[in-house]
């Protein structure tokens, strides 16, 4: 089966301002809903779960891109941790109990995936954003209308039928989707995760460039509202609009990345009902992720 991947997003706005204007709990509201809580905003970093799903609108799908993000305003630092979709973890309430982590979203949506991450790694997720193939393509063209610069080789071009030449290329939505889905080389999913993180950071920079001018600030509410229409998220439009200017002023100066499982902490395994998995040292990876997200 051809593997599918994508990832995210309008993240820049949310993360860059998350502590200067922290997000209130919204009781399940999506970004397009207009009922917002008046709960008092409290200080503190927030952890965001970013989910890319292998769907073009189907009701059930797997989460083939799983990323945790946290912003530290005092250090001007953004941290992104990708969890490999084949990571072998215990999923509460399903059979078999142990499965690939991307099966958690298939069986129980974002709530089960949040619980699985908490149980496996001890990380509490505050907010979630989910995007599918169609949303990803539109989001890329919204945040980076001039395209994304990527380095492609002939293997990627041939395997994914990308309209490009070898070397540096400026690609747009549909072609970038193909680029971040590719996994059929020696690096497999590991290379794919690296490409996801690279493109995400370029989307961040493209978005910051758009809204750094007077015209960009004026256009900001429309950009945010359009972007949220591509996401299933518990973060409301009003909250993001309130912290929009802070995202420009306090954009992260550095970005640190991590990939779970970490090097030397897993082995390839295969199970009859599940297939090929990454069997992890649970303790080592839990400690690595917690240490990464500490200040």
Query: Rounded CA gap, 287 and 20, in Å?
Result: 28
Which residues neighbour 205 within 8 Å (Cβ) at sequence distance 6 or greater? Answer: none
The CA–CA distances, whole Å, from 128 to 12, 16, 97, 112, 259 equal: 14, 16, 24, 12, 19
Which DSSP letter does residue 71 get?
Answer: E
- Helices 214-228 and 237-249 sit at what angle, rounded to 10 degrees? 140
CATH topology of domain 11-292: Aminopeptidase (3.40.630)
Geometric angle at alpha carbon 89, from 88 and 93, rounded to 5°:
130
Query: Rounded CA gap, 43 and 263, in Å?
Result: 34
pLDDT digits (tens, 9 = 90+) for 244-260: 555 545 555 677 889 99
Mean pLDDT computed over every residue of the chain: 77
Question: What is the helix (H) or strand (E) element at residue 192, kind and residue range?
Answer: helix 188-210
Phi-psi region of 270 (alpha: psi -120 to 50; beta: other; left: phi over 0): beta
% of the chain beyond a pLDDT of 90: 36
Mean per-residue pLDDT, 64-82: 81
Query: Strand 127-131 vs strand 98-100: parallel, antiparallel, or unpaired?
Result: unpaired
**What pLDDT, on the 0 to 100 scale, is given for residue 22?**
31
pLDDT exceeds 60 at position 239: no
Query: Rounded CA gap, 18 and 26, in Å?
Result: 15
Q: Of 28 and 83, which is predicted with more confidence? A: 83
pLDDT exceeds 70 at position 88: yes
Cβ proximity of 149 and 202 under 8 Å: yes
Peptide bond into 162 cis (omega under 30): no
Placement of tokens 């009701």 in the chain: 59
Q: Of 256 and 205, which is predicted with more confidence? A: 256
pLDDT exceeds 80 at position 26: no
In the chain, where are the structural domains located?
Answer: 11-292
């Amino acid at each position: 089966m051809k593997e599918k991947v994508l990832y995210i997003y309008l993240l820049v706005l949310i993360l860059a301002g998350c502590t200067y204007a922290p997000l209130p709990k919204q009781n399940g509201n999506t970004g397009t809903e207009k009922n917002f809580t008046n709960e008092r905003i409290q200080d503190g970093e927030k952890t965001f779960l970013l989910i890319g799903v292998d769907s073009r609108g189907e009701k059930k799908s797997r989460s083939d891109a799983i990323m945790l993000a946290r912003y530290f305003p005092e250090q001007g630092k953004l941290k992104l941790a990708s969890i490999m979709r084949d990571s072998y973890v215990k999923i509460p309430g399903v059979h078999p109990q142990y499965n690939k982590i991307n099966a958690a979203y298939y069986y129980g949506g974002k709530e089960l995936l949040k619980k699985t991450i908490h149980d496996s790694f001890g990380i509490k997720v505050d907010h979630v954003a989910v995007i599918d193939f169609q949303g990803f393509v539109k989001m890329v063209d919204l945040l980076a209308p001039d395209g994304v610069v990527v380095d492609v080789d002939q293997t990627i071009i041939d395997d994914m039928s990308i309209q490009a030449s070898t070397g540096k290329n400026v690609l747009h939505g549909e072609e970038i989707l193909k680029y971040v889905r590719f996994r059929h080389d020696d690096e497999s999913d590991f290379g794919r995760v690296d490409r996801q993180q690279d493109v995400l950071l370029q989307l961040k920079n493209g978005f910051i460039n758009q809204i750094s001018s007077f015209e960009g600030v004026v256009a900001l509410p429309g950009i945010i509202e359009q972007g949220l229409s591509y996401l299933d998220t518990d973060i409301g439009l009003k909250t993001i609009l309130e912290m929009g200017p802070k995202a420009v002023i306090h954009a992260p100066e550095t970005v640190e990345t991590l990939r779970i499982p970490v090097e030397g902490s897993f082995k390839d395994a295969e199970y009859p009902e599940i297939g090929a998995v990454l069997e992890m040292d649970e303790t080592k990876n839990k400690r690595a992720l917690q240490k990464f997200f500490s200040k």
